[in-house]
Amino acid sequence: MEDRPGKLVVISGPSGVGKTTLLRRLLADLPTLMPSVSATTRPPRAGECDGIDYHFIPLDEFERRRAVGEFLECCQVYGRQHWYGTLVAEVAPRLAAGKWVVLEIDVEGTLSILARYPQAITIFVEPAHPDQLLERLKARGTESPDAMARRLEVARRELHEAHRYKHRVVNENVELALAEIERVLAAEGFHHTAVSHAPSPTR
Ligand code: 5GP
């Protein structure tokens, strides 16, 4: 039974900065940190799983759920092409149960979250060099040249919003960036319950 209140952690950063890898590693390192799975109208990329990477839903369903207040925040990202949103059901029950919940959302979504949860711990992941974003997006190879240009344009705008975040972490190297995020969480009061990887004794 948790005796400490839960907290909301918001991680943002421009497309191509390596947030997804960092978040995956963070969740593996800190298994008591709960991810919030966002809903989106964007189609899944190869290898993405419904309910794990996102709840992939059609636009009419997104609009219906938005109208009945199922989203804590939602917005259209990348030239109003696709909707993305944080579901109340992914966050509120876990916070109420004393869990720490991590959201990986864009800057606009973060501002909406801060309006409702001013005490949210906000972390902005920045590239070490601006060229890093284009290189990563090219290497990922999941976007058309048009989509890549849109992402870079949004990235440029997002980098100007970094000052709105309480913490800023440069991702030049995954290990160092990960250690820095874990240090931030510890300083904010996150208590990591160690999970034993030792085999359980057999009787
Ligand atoms: P991607 O299409 O690369 O998975 O994500 C595109 C962008 O949408 C990223 O910047 C990501 O942070 C943002 N995003 C993902 N889920 C949400 C969400 O629930 N709300 C908001 N506002 N942005 C989101």
- pLDDT tens-place string over residues 79-91: 668 999 999 999 9
CB of 85 within 6 A of ligand 1: the answer is: yes
Instruction: Please compute the mean of the pLDDT values over residues 64-93 and round it to a whole number.
Output: 92
Q: What CA–CA distance (Å, rounded) separates 154 from 177?
A: 22
Ligand 1, atom 18: nearest CA belongs to which residue? 85
CB atoms < 10 A from the CB of 111, how many? 15
- The answer to whether position 182 is within a domain reads yes
Residue 90, domain CATH: 3.40.50.300
- Closest ligand 1 atom number to CA of residue 53: 4
CB of 83 within 6 A of ligand 1: the answer is: no
Q: How many domains does the chain have?
A: 1
| Structural domain boundaries enclosing 23 | 8-187
- The answer to whether position 192 is within a domain reads no
- The answer to whether position 102 is within a domain reads yes
**Is residue 111 a contact partner of residue 12, using CB atoms and an 8 Å limit?**
no
Instruction: Please compute the mean of the pLDDT values over residues 30-49 and round it to a whole number.
Output: 96
- The answer to whether position 200 is within a domain reads no
* CA 120 centroid distance within chain: 13
Judged by DSSP in three states, 125 sits in strand
**pLDDT of 8-28, one tens digit each?**
999 999 888 889 899 999 999
Ligand 1, atom 12: nearest CA belongs to which residue? 105
pTM of the model: 0.88
- Closest ligand 1 atom number to CA of residue 158: 10
- The answer to whether position 199 is within a domain reads no
